[in-house]
Amino acid sequence: MARIVEPNTTPLEPVDVDPVTLDLVENGLRNARYEMDEVLFRTALSPGIREQHDEFPLIADPSGKMVVGQFGLSIPDFLAGFEGDIGEGDVLLTSDPYSCGAAISHANDWLVVLPIFTEGRVVGWASMFGHMSDVGGKTPSSMPTDAKTIYEEGVVIPPFKLYAGGKLNEDALRIILNQVRVPDWNRADLNGLVAACRTAAKRVTEMCARFGVDTYLSALDALLQRNYDAMKTLLHVVFAEGRTLSFTDYICDDGVGYGPYELKLSLTRTGDRVHLDFTGSSPQAIGPVNYYLNENLARMFFGIYMITVADPQILWNDGFYPLVDVTIPDGSYWKPKHPAALNARNHGIGRVFDLFGGLLGQTNPALLNAAGFSSSPHFMYSGNYSGGDRKGEWFQLYSIGFGGIPGRPLGDGPDGHSLWPSFVNIPCEFLESYYPLRIEKWETVADTGGAGLHRGGNGVDVAYRFLEPGTIAIHDDRWLMYPWGVNGGTPGARGRKWIDRASGEREVLPSKCHDVPVHPGDVLHFVTWGGGGWGDPLERDPELVAKEVRRGLVTAEGALRYGVRVTEKGEVQEQETTALRDQQRSRRDGALPVFDMGPGIEEILARCEEETGLPAPIRPVWR
Amino acid sequence: MSYRLGVDVGGTFTDVLLVDEETGSTWRAKTASTPSDQSVGVLHGIDKVCAEAGIDRSAVAHVLHGTTVATNAILEGKGATVGLVTTEGFRQVLQIARSFVPGGLAGWIIWPKPEPLADLEDTVEVPERIGSDGTVITPLDEEKARQALRKLHGVEALAISLINAFANDKHERRLLELAREELPGVEVSLSSVVLPEMREYERALTTVANGYVQPQVARYVANLSAKLKAEGVPAGLSILRSDGGLASADAAIAAPVTMLLSGPAGGVTGAVWVAEQSGHTELLTFDMGGTSTDVALVQGGQARIGRETKVGDLTVRASAVDVRTVGAGGGSIAHVPELTRALRVGPQSAGAEPGPAAYGKGGTAPTVTDANVVLGYLPSALAGGEITLDRDAARAAVQTIADAMGLESAEKAAAGIIDIVNENMLGGLRLVSVQQGFDPRDFALVAFGGAGPLHANALGRLTGAWPVIVPPSPGVLCALGDATTSARDESARTVLRKLGDLSDTELATIFEELATAASDRLKAQGITPEHIAYSADIRFVGQGNELPVTFELSEGLTGLATRFDTEHERLFSFTLNVDHELVNARATVTGPRPRVAPIHLEKGDPDPQPARTGETPIYVDGHYVDAALYDRLKLKAGNVITGPAIVTEMDSTTLILPGHAATTDDGGSLLIRPTSKEA
């Protein structure tokens, strides 16, 4: 347990904060948090943060409760795992999920935490973590898909003082940077993380000066209370007393041949409180897909769905946490035992969105979306230039793929977009200018979005032609289990990966692989999955279906799923369409299902090899 | 004798300012705008101002015009049907839109994705490929290209944006020739001309946006030029660019995407001119209108120029005065969400229809204007009597906020609304100052727009930017900006070279070529280039974003690197020990600055008594006080107005808070400063 050293021990008086000042503090915190993002984006060198904004800021109150941020990480758990004094000018760094109660969830994430001091006392914490594109280990980008322990996943930094009293621990940094492939990246990104946290600290200090420390801190309490009160009301409105809701989704495989992993989540409200229960989920994975989930993060995810819809302008904070109890079984997918491998947990993080969507949507149609592009699949390519001016020089690409946003109550899911906030793709021209590859195609794949009144977004096919020998790695999922549709919408298409070798051979790749050799002239197709459809496809305006055929987003054959027949030119054939729709309706028995998850799991496994070209995984069992 | 004429077309009024180029004397005229054909109002205004000055229209040598035609085409979604030609495999570049979803976690649930500016139905791809180094990988298949172009019959404009065209424009140029044959009469925009910079989505989008607004801009500009000629005005017509420079009518028609922020640029340029007359060159400008507020930072009399232009949902890569827009204006609606009982102001706005409750046009939602009415800050009718204020309606609307928050009076709620909206605008001012490493206390704050002068004093207090300068009449300010700016042109290209791999000579050659190209274009318009500014987008090798850095060629590579490091340190508090990369090079060439003599107000003594028209109770800092009322038109240079006071003029109202005083200067601006340190 960390001991906080505060020279000023005069107790602070809680004061009444008028509602307008409260809103002013809220606004100031929101500005500070966006400024943190800006500082890091603009200065980072590694592609993960620089181009794709894989980073998460947070400002907390003196006890470590988040008062603004967009993705929790738990400062109390971090402090509990740190042995020693913390004082003014200290900056802490860690990348070890097991030493901070999963405040971060894999070793690629470097977490910076610093105390914010004003007048000799801690008035809060600034913290930020970012995904380092490489942290050493046995494969470039440090995410071996066959890892079975965290020791295979590069340098794992225990919590320590990167700066003690404002002085950089250069020896420690040198030891760390000696482990990684492109130390300039890590150094710049780490500088950016620290600069962003210091910016936040400056803004908080300014607010303390403007409003007074007691007013500022009392305002934080009031903001936390505001969340608490809002959530208490919401829980009563949304959930019936004593009724248990459950939902299950899947991770298709773990990279070493086991799967699908069941992710089960149940919710029950009793009185003012709800209980989130992950019991019934699969055991921890043998491969690296485990998502070590912090309880506070589970609360956070839950709250995002609840409050975003009620008052989207509200500032996100931890205030409602006491209303939510969380059970995560030890040794499960969500709480693996040390030293289980963790690197490929991004599928699990993404799936949490679908899981909460499917769970909470059962009570509230406003929240019910189909399954979306709940991941941030990775593509890596690295090697040494074999000739030319750059002969021998190391290149290393890390990039994220995008897919279909699901059909939503609001409308269609965008094609080839990101479910994650602020992620963007790396432009083709940028990639071609800095890496030995050429992109031959970058488009969404017609019909991969699930059919529905609101169509699911299409997945994307990016075709990379390699110009230098090297190796590639892929981290993706949803190649086996379908992105489900809702309210009559059908599932989206699953993702696929293959290489057309220069020799003319086609080689199907698993969704998780690394160190796959590639040669000049080989072309990789990285095809992501589509979003599920929302609502009855037979209700969709036939003119819109036809327009999408003309736009190339749906094929003439795909239009049949909407009961729409089109001419060669993509015009609606009205009579044929009416007849087809009548016929399709007459074949239905009963009401449309709320969830359409595709065929059952047994059937999917039985047809796996035939449909995907890949062997069926072995189902995991608790031991 | 020759005259210059600045024209600003606003939503309600068209302002015209006539300047005698020799004496600097000015005349103003205000006429009703004519939205269906803006040129009607413009000509009417020209007639009116010439009559007032007693001159013949033929004496007007230059007409300088800030126009919102391009902006409105985007905001109202009424641009041309644009066809887009891409490289095979990249037809969906606008559909994918870099995969970006705005908002926070779960933001995708509530994001309505805007339709692409060029429909996928009107997007074709052609077989061809250029490498990132400019080499031709696959030659253009001309037969297939012709077939593809033929599919686009019926489009009103064509945009061609091929992969890596920034490195080699050969295929785009050939396609232009083919398009002229296959689609005669359709204006074509090439990405290699509009934006020869790396990043295919941004380049395609900017090229399409250029095509999207081009027909309307071309029609308007050509129409206005023709009418001016027909009406006996021999003057050449120039249009204000988004970056605050002037372009000839022809240049404006060719690159309308550089005119998207013509309107706001006029305001900032005018603010700079007015503030200079008051002796200030370091400025924060603050232009508050009905639905939004534009803020910008001016250093050494030069507005900071950004590389992006944002209009509504659209962000294109075109140089523009770095104006940040905050969704807060007089029409912003206050509300109290039931769940959190927090006070929110905006971003929803009552707009002009139905407008604030006080306008009596059917609006009932409490707006910022209503709060100002309740507090007594708007004592008279607005817009010269066109809008009378329904005080009871304003109070009733604001009372709903008091009730929802449990506050004891409408005044308390109104004060809260004003505090929150001021805070939102402070956020905008912080974006351009503190967050760029500038201390607002080193700047003066220039406030304009219909609502700016009401909130200016309060924002001075929040930012510490003194004096607060309130220029005379906002419409005239923009027209002044139009009349006092210089002709300008710019050439840019992507370089992508490490500084370590370049020599000083190579660096100079790159920039001198660009300067020559831009100068030649100015000379072709009969303008003598007077000043050349060089800027470079630099980053540390490996970074994803560049910083624009202005430098002198004589400083060479070392100077350029040092300037970048300084900027990086200022913005982000650290630098790195890695090489620098020159991403984009740019030369901006400016013609001579017009000589416009400053306006001189009649001299008076410090006592403003002759301009005083009465007094009115206003609610400040929790209680009512009596504020003196003044008529701005009667103020004389040297008059000092001590707060609390309200100064009214036809199209704006200035509030001077207790503890502050405003001095009227020679040019007619009010300069507000605190009277004591504690204020």
Interface A–B counts its CB contacts (< 8 A) at 225
Contact list in A for residue B107 (CB cut-off 8 A) is 308, 421
Q: What is the pLDDT of residues B32-49, one digit of tens each?
A: 778 778 888 888 889 999
Q: What is the mean pLDDT of chain A?
A: 92
DSSP state of A94: E
Query: Does the pLDDT at position B679 exceed 50?
Result: no
Average pLDDT over residues A597-622: 96
Are residues A586 and A516 located together in one domain of the fold? Answer: no
pLDDT cut 70: percent of chain B above it: 97
d(CA A370, CA A282): 23
The total number of structural domains that make up chain A:
3
Q: Are residues A105 and A211 in the same domain?
A: yes
Task: Please check whether residue A127 lies inside any domain of the structure.
Answer: yes
- A498: in domain: yes
In this structure, are residues A135 and A107 in contact, taking their beta carbons and an 8 Å threshold?
A: yes
Domain extent, residue A182, equals 2-230
Structure confidence by residue, pLDDT tens digits, A339-369: 999 999 999 999 998 898 899 888 866 568 9
Q: In angstroms, rounded to a whole number, what is the distance separating the alpha carbons of residues B340 and A233?
A: 10
Nearest residue on chain A to B540, judged by CA atoms? Answer: A45
Residues 302-321 of A with CB under 8 A from B: 304-305, 308-314, 316
**pLDDT (0 to 100) of residue A310:** 59
A108 and A191 co-located in one domain: yes
Distance CA B632, CA B629 (A): 10
- pLDDT tens for residues B366-377? 999 999 999 999
pLDDT band at A312 (very low <50, low <70, confident <90, very high): low
pLDDT for A316: 66
Residue of A nearest to B425 (CA): A27
Name chain B contacts of A46, Cβ cutoff 8 Å. Answer: 542
Query: Rounded to whole angstroms, how far apart are CA atoms B529 and B548?
Result: 23
A414 touching chain B per CB within 8 A: yes
Asked if A70 and A316 touch (Cβ cutoff 8 Å), the reply is: yes
pLDDT given for residue B386 in this prediction:
61
pLDDT of the residue at A605: 97
| Residues B19-22: contacts with CB under 8 Å, at least 24 apart | B19/B483, B19/B594, B19/B596, B20/B53, B21/B61, B21/B594, B21/B595, B21/B596
Q: What is the pLDDT of residues A217-245, one digit of tens each?
A: 999 999 999 888 888 888 888 889 999 99
As for the ipTM of the complex, it is 0.92
In CATH, B488-590 is 2.60.40:
no
Residue from A299, A376, A417 to probe the interface with B (highest B Cβ count within 10 Å):
A417
Most confident of the ranges A88-97, A315-324, B232-241 = A88-97
Overall average pLDDT of the B215-230 stretch: 90
Looking at chain A from residue 223 to 242, which residues have their Cβ under 8 Å from any Cβ of chain B? 226, 229-230, 233-234
CB contact (8 A) between residue A20 and residue B419: yes
B569 CB neighbours in chain A (<8 A) are none
Give chain B's mean pLDDT. 88
Residue B105: per-residue pLDDT: 77
Contacts of A184 in chain B (CB under 8 A): 542, 576, 578
What's the pLDDT at A366?
A: 58
> What DSSP state is assigned to residue B104?
S
A582 shares its domain with A437: no
Give me the torsion for CA of B487, B482, B456, B281, rounded to 10°.
Answer: 40
Find the DSSP H helices in A44-155.
47-50, 75-80
With CA atoms as reference, the chain A residue closest to B127 would be A440
Q: Which has more confidence, A524 or A19?
A: A524
Each domain of chain B, given as residue ranges in start order, spans 79-213, 332-419, 488-590, 600-679
Mean predicted confidence (pLDDT) in B592-603: 78
Any idea what DSSP says for residue B632? G
Strands B305-306 and B302-303: unpaired
Omega before B347 within 30 of 0, i.e. cis: yes
Assess A353–B contact: CB distance below 8 Å, yes or no.
Answer: yes
Residues A522 and A548 in one domain: no
What is the pLDDT confidence band of residue B487, given thresholds at 50, 70 and 90? confident
Question: B342 and A305: CB-CB below 8 Å?
Answer: no
Instruction: Give the span between the Cα atoms of B411 and B395, in whole angstroms.
Output: 9
- Write down the pLDDT at residue B678: 44
Judged on CB neighbours under 10 Å (0-12, 13-18, 19+), A619 is: middle
Supply A6's token pair. 């505060």
User: Which of B51, B433, B445, B509 has its CA nearest to residue B283?
Assistant: B445
Q: Are strands A167-168 and A244-251 parallel, antiparallel or unpaired?
A: unpaired
Helices of type H across B525-625? 556-572
pLDDT at B384 over 60: no
Supply the pLDDT for residue B571: 74
Q: For residue B547, what pLDDT is reported?
A: 84
Q: Say yes or no to pLDDT of A11 above 70.
A: yes
* Residue A303: inside a domain: no
**CB < 8 Å to B578, chain A:** 45, 184, 188
pLDDT on residue B570: 76
Is there a domain that residue A237 lies in? no
Give the domain-ending residue among A230, A259, A287: A230
- Flag whether residue B409 sits within 8 Å of chain A, measured between CB atoms: no
Check CB contact under 8 Å for A311 and B121.
no
The answer to whether residues A381 and A448 belong to one domain is yes
A396 and A504, same domain (yes or no): yes
Helices (H), A118-212: 170-177, 183-211
- Taking the alpha carbons at both ends of chain A, their separation in whole angstroms is 33
Task: Clarify whether residues A12 and A66 are in a common domain.
Answer: yes
Cα B249 from Cα B566, distance rounded (Å): 39
Report DSSP letters for A31-69, one per residue.
HHHHHHHHHHHHH--SHHHHTT--EEEEEE-TTS-EEEE
Q: What is the pLDDT of residue B120?
A: 97
Q: Is the separation of the CB atoms in A140 and A181 below 8 Å?
A: yes
Alpha carbon distance A437, B133 (integer Å): 12
Closest by CA position to B476, among listed B266, B265, B233, B244? B266
User: How many Å lie between the alpha carbon of A587 and the closest alpha carbon of chain B?
Assistant: 32
Whether residue A281 lies inside any domain: the answer is no
The whole-angstrom separation of Cα B155 and Cα A379 is 39
The confidence band for A556, taking pLDDT boundaries of 50, 70 and 90, is very high
Distance CA A492, CA A495 (A): 9
Strands of B652-656's sheet, edge to edge?
B612-620, B623-631, B645-649, B652-656
The answer, for B109 touching chain A at a CB cutoff of 8 Å, is: yes
- Asked if the Cβ–Cβ distance from B132 to A432 is below 8 Å, we say yes
Question: Span A532-550, mean pLDDT?
Answer: 97
The answer to whether residue A206 sits within a structural domain is yes
Q: What is the pLDDT of residue B472?
A: 84
Q: What percent of chain A has pLDDT over 70?
A: 97
* Average pLDDT value for residue range B171-197: 95
Distance of CA A425 to the CA centre of its chain: 15
Q: Which of B92, B105, B574 sits opposite A195 (nearest CB)?
A: B574
Q: Are residues A375 and A451 in the same domain?
A: yes
Report the range of poorest mean pLDDT among A606-615, B318-327, B495-504. Answer: B318-327
Same domain flag for A213 and A172: yes
Residue A14 pLDDT class (50, 70, 90 cuts): very high
Region B439-463: mean pLDDT is 92
Tell me, yes or no, whether A9 lies in a domain: yes
Cβ pair B572:A195 closer than 8 A: yes
**Nearest-CA distance from B436 to chain A in Å?**
10
Contact call for A41 and B427, based on CB within 8 A:
no
- Specify the pLDDT at position B506: 94
DSSP states of B192-212: HHH--SS-HHHHHHHHHHHHH
Is 90 exceeded by the pLDDT of residue A464?
Answer: yes
- Say whether both A520 and A567 belong to one domain: no
Same domain, A139 and A93: yes
